[in-house]
Chains A and B, each alone.
Chain A
């Protein structure tokens, strides 16, 4: 099945480099673009900053801590619910 590239696009874009003193920064972002004939959706998030200093390159990742915390909490809830359900089912089985 071919990916509908015209409808859904996942792109990595870089912004104009910013030079401050001897440091040059190139911000990088990931964008998810869903384009339907009568609707559209864009999710654009910063992913990294490329730092160039004296000919040496360094990549600094941008992490969305709030999202990481949210995902961890949701995962913990799901795990707890699944384990509890499993234990309840096991107890029911044992009581028969």
Chain B
């Protein structure tokens, strides 16, 4: 390795910071609205919700020790092992986009048509019904216990 560990970690951190900036570029309006799509008399612009997140971390440490005995590795080897260190860096991120509405420009003017995510609503509805059912069962059981 030609560069020292702190320099390596610093360089890595800078690169990961730049990568994070790229992930956070999802905040620009261009990420939300698509390019207009023309079809006959109609033009469509897709509006999507975008969520992006990322993070990274790095660390290094150093330690000193007596190292192996010179008889095992030689005078030079023992000196080299007097101080040692290690470090690492890592990160992760992701983004998610979902269409929210479609802007339709046609002969009748401009209209905003919502895009409904049936799966999302279905999951929420099932959770709601399950919670209500469990609560109702508990309430019924308690009513039976209270009743003489």
Contact = CB atoms under 8 A, between A and B. Distances in A.
Interface of A: 11, 13-16, 18, 20, 23, 25, 27-29, 31, 33, 35-36, 38-46, 49, 51, 53, 58, 60-66, 69-70, 73-74, 76-77, 80-81, 84, 87-88, 91-92, 95
For the residues of A in contact with B, the DSSP-based class is: strand
Given A20-B105, A62-B101, A42 B112 contact: no
A86 to B, nearest CB: 11
Nearest to B57: A38
Contacts of A70: 120-121, 124
A63 B115 CA distance: 9
A46 B121 contact: no
Given A66-B116, A73-B125, A77-B127, A45 B146 contact: no
B117 interface: yes
Contacts of B101: 46, 62-64
Interface secondary structure of B, over-half rule:
mixed
B147 to A, nearest CB: 9
A77 B131 contact: yes
Contacts of A29: 29, 32-33
B74 interface: no
Contacts of B45: 18, 25, 27
Contacts of B132: 77, 80
A43 B135 CA distance: 34
Interface stretch (B4-12, B79-87, B136-144): B136-144
Given A31-B27, A76-B128, A84-B135, A64 B54 contact: no
Contacts of B54: 39-40
B135 A40 contact: no
B51 A42 contact: yes
A53 B28 CA distance: 26
B31 interface: yes
